[in-house]
Amino acid sequence: MNHTSADSPSDLDRHLSGFLGYEMKRALAVLQADLTRVLGALGLRAVSFSALSVIVQTPGLTQSALADALQIERSNLVTLIDELAGRNLIMRAPVAGDRRRHALMPTAEGQNLAREASAAVEAHENRLFAGLTAEERHELQRLLTKFRRTA
């Protein structure tokens, strides 16, 4: 046989799949579509889940530190923090000795939702990566992390 078996409804982008960046973008699009659905059921977006998780794991950090950690602009963090605070998932607490800073603290409710959301995201990844073995998932994780460290 001299025609490649069609493994995709449209295969016109087959030569682009040779680029890792293209394949990664496509893979991420699939992941994000499902993640948006899963987190949406909990009233969260991907970025608010990330922010809440970091605040739960690192209580007391400032908005600037959180912006650094998530690689988003301080300015764009404001409404996100407003949103989480408005739902009583976190609080802006004063920092002793520097009245410019806010210490971001999770509420009990925020901690509970973070736990629930983490479980949901884990289930989401288990579902989407079911076609890969545990070893393959770990290898993918390792390669992505190595890339991030060395690129």
Residues that bind DNA (CB under 7 A): 45, 47, 62-65, 72-78, 81, 92, 97-102
The interface with its own copies within residues 18-47 (CB under 8 A) comprises 18-32, 35
The three-state DSSP-derived secondary structure of 18-77 is HCHHHHHHHHHHHHHHHHHHHHHCCCCCHHHHHHHHHHHHCCCCCHHHHHHHHCCCHHHH
Q: Is 82 in the site for its own copies (CB under 8 A)?
A: no
Handedness of CA 74, 81, 59, 101 (dihedral sign): positive
State the nearest-atom distance from the C-beta of 142 to DNA, in Å: 25
State the nearest-atom distance from the C-beta of 98 to DNA, in Å: 4
**Chosen from its own copies, DNA, none, partner binding at 21 (C-beta under 5 to 8 Å by type):** its own copies
Give Cα separations from 106 to 12, 28, 39, 75 (angstroms): 48, 29, 18, 21
Q: Is 103 in the site for its own copies (CB under 8 A)?
A: no
Burial of 91 (0-12, 13-18, 19+ CB in 10 A): middle
**Chosen from DNA, its own copies, none, partner binding at 62 (C-beta under 5 to 8 Å by type):** DNA
Q: Which residues pair with 105 in a beta bridge?
A: 91
Q: Is 120 in the site for its own copies (CB under 8 A)?
A: no
Interface with its own copies by CB under 8 A: which residues? 7, 9-10, 12-13, 15-32, 35, 50, 53-54, 57-58, 61, 65-66, 68-71, 121-122, 125, 128-132, 136-137, 139-141, 143-151
